[in-house]
Amino acid sequence: MMTENTRTYDVVVIGAGPVGENVADRTTVAGLSTVVVESELVGGECSYWACEPSKALLRAVLLRSDAAHVPGLDPAVAGPLDPAAVLAHRDRMSGNWNDEGQVEWLESAGVELLRGHGRLAGPREVLVHTPGGDAVRLRARHAVAVCTGSRAALPGLLRGDDLRAWTSREGTSAQEVPGRLIIVGAGVVGTEMATAWQALGSRVTMLVREEGLLPRLEPFAGELVVERLREAGVDLRFGTTLSTAKRLGGQDDELVVTLSSGEEITADEILFATGRAPRTEDIGLETVGLTPGDWLTVDDTLTVTAVPGEWLYAVGDVNRRALFTHQGKYQARIAGAVIAARAGGSAPDTTPWGPHTATADGGAVPLVVVTDPEIAAVGLTTLEARRTGRGVDVVDYEIGHLAGAVQYRPDYRGRARILIDPDRRTVLGATFVGPGVAELVHSATVAVAAEVPLERLWHVVPAFPTLGEVWLRLLETYRDRQAQ
């Protein structure tokens, strides 16, 4: 027989991923009693099915690509990868899907954990159904923070069938290399998984509705990735949609898909990388006047605007401001400070150089796409500038002309672009494509977020010979153009 008991805390956090952990840490440091509710693994999507495992799969792929082009290295580095070793490394980086270490961290931070499925049950109340069948009603004196993240959005043709399609979760956690893999989608997940599984031995076919990859980035970024994927053997089908897909069953358990052209393709697995949806369909939103399954709109304090009383917060992916782990953790620090301030907490200010508002979710969101070649970007793109009617000066430079790039690998191919506000003479956006460019993104983020004037950037001297010298070359290119 199910029993119910009631517990009261200052703060209740639903979701123990990186975002929920950071909210709870900040409120606990502020002296507020905090409980975190989690129905899966403590550490969340990033630790077990996204950032950590995907980058572990890709690490050997990119290292091999670079090493194979450096003179003096054994040609054997260009040979096949060891899939078992790569998958074992991925398992270690994912903690073998065991969250004991994460639980220990919560305990050391003084945060209480309650395992179970949490649903809002009215203002400042969360009802949790535990794995043991009990119900625990949590009452929050000050705040409830929804940190449930997002999940893969699947197309309608998958509803009610037995296709057993992969999403990003299966794509990053599979224990065997599929012989033939179809990937549907043109975004980050699709391109990274195509890069990884093709290198591990799969024959990958990508079905892309658009006419290129990574449509939200600068076009040259997707073009360089397309070139390398094709060289690696990936079959890219642009302007193609999926009409039907079904699992044949039988000994081989193959699946067959029909394309919009009428062509049929047979494969062993199919991965849908077609976007994200909020994990809000079953968290009791209806009890506070919200619609289940919706994204949660917040203001810059991460407070849900449609719920009165300033007690409900939505932090991370679930608010759709910026679907990146690093941005979610940033929001969590802000939300924790806001909750503490409103509750009269005693924690030191976690944002001592400004107000308790999230200001980095708009124009200065950094991202890295771990493909071959890597992509790093922050801020505005030319497409966004054109769409919004914003006047910008576009400055390009071939990274392969740098001494640091040639030291990296003699056949280095890459490109850098910055967008400059011609009136204020500040950098509005930057995109880098090429081996090793991920480490350039923070300098770009500082330039964009701090609105550093070009006159000051001239005095930021890059070390020689490094890829960072691209900043000097971009400024020189812009200066020479202005002088004409």
Q: Are residues 127 and 209 in the same domain?
A: no
Q: Are residues 148 and 160 in the same domain?
A: no
Three-class DSSP labels, the chain: CCCEEEEEEEEEEECCCHHHHHHHHHHHHCCCCEEEEECCCCCHHHHHHCHHHHHHHHHHHHHHHHHCCCCCCCHHHHCCCCHHHHHHHHHHHCHHHCCHHHHHHHHHCCCEEEECEEEECCCCEEEEECCCCCEEEEEEEEEEEECCCEEECCCHHHCCCCCCCECHHHHHHCCCCCCEEEEECCCHHHHHHHHHHHHHCCEEEEEECCCCCCCCCCHHHHHHHHHHHHHHCCEEEECCCEEEEEEEECCCCEEEEEECCCCEEEECEEEECCCEEECCCCCCHHHHCCCCCCCCCECCCCEECCCCCCCEEECHHHHCCCCCHHHHHHHHHHHHHHHHHHHCCCCCCCCCCCCCCCCCCCCCCEEEECCCCCEEEEECCHHHHHHHCCCCEEEEEEHHHCHHHHHHCCCCCCEEEEEEECCCCEEEEEEEECCCHHHHHHHHHHHHHCCCEHHHHCCCCCCCCCHHHHHHHHHHHHHHHHHC
Q: What distance in Å separates the CA atoms of residue 144 and residue 110, rounded to the nearest whole number? A: 18
The reply to whether 134 falls in a domain is yes
Q: Are residues 292 and 160 in the same domain?
A: no
pTM: 0.93
Confidence at residue 3, expressed as pLDDT on a 0 to 100 scale: 67
**The CATH number of the domain where 462 resides is what?**
3.30.390.30
Q: Are residues 140 and 286 in the same domain?
A: yes
Q: Are residues 211 and 283 in the same domain?
A: no
CB 402 within 8 A of CB 473: yes
For residue 291, what are the domain limits? 4-43+99-152+278-343
Q: Are residues 384 and 460 in the same domain?
A: yes
**The CATH number of the domain where 257 resides is what?**
3.50.50.60
For the chain, list residues with pLDDT below 70.
1-3, 157-161, 345-355
Q: Are residues 327 and 385 in the same domain?
A: no
Confidence at residue 351, expressed as pLDDT on a 0 to 100 scale: 47
Q: Are residues 148 and 192 in the same domain?
A: no
pLDDT in tens, 211-228: 999 999 999 999 999 999
Q: Are residues 193 and 301 in the same domain?
A: no
Closest alpha carbon to 361 in 333, 394, 341: 333
Q: What distance in Å separates the CA atoms of residue 317 and residue 315, rounded to the nearest whole number? A: 7
pLDDT in tens, 349-397: 444 445 578 888 888 999 999 999 999 999 999 999 999 999 999 999 9
Q: Encoding tokens for residue 476?
A: 């020189």
pLDDT in tens, 247-300: 987 777 899 999 999 999 999 999 999 999 999 999 999 999 999 999 999 999
Q: Are residues 20 and 136 in the same domain?
A: yes
Q: Are residues 384 and 471 in the same domain?
A: yes
The reply to whether 68 falls in a domain is no
Closest alpha carbon to 186 in 267, 266, 275: 275
The reply to whether 475 falls in a domain is yes
The reply to whether 23 falls in a domain is yes
The reply to whether 283 falls in a domain is yes
Q: Are residues 138 and 172 in the same domain?
A: no
Domain count, the chain: 3
